[in-house]
Amino acid sequence: MTIKPLADRVVTKAVKAEETTKSGLILTSAAQEKPQVAEIVAVGPGGMVDGNEVKMYVKVGDKVLTAKYSGTEVKVDGEEYSIIRQSDILAIVE
């Protein structure tokens, strides 16, 4: 099954969080923060949203920095994804 976002929404998959600190300490999964860097796996078409024209600036494969508690988390075929609005994307990571 695939996810096709509507309007100005984007489907992202979190990039795996670091398991060790810079000093070499190994973190348990409970101690790791939710990653804010994600890879875009699907992009909506944009268009009219709330009476305003929305142009999509991101594309599939971009790595982006997202707002910490943004979006809706979904699980499809055993994989976890987040569906967020393009406006919740803070930056593209290069």
The pLDDT value recorded for residue 20 is 64
pLDDT in tens, 30-87: 544 566 899 999 999 998 888 999 999 999 999 999 988 889 999 999 999 999 999 9
The angle at the Cα of 90, spanning 87 to 94, to the nearest 5 degrees, equals 125
> At residue 22, does pLDDT exceed 80?
no
The pLDDT value recorded for residue 5 is 95
The pLDDT value recorded for residue 2 is 87
Distance separating alpha carbons of residues 11 and 29, to the nearest angstrom: 23
User: pTM (2 decimals)?
Assistant: 0.79
> At residue 27, does pLDDT exceed 80?
no
Average confidence score pLDDT of the chain: 86
Q: How far is CA 70 from the centre of its chain?
A: 9
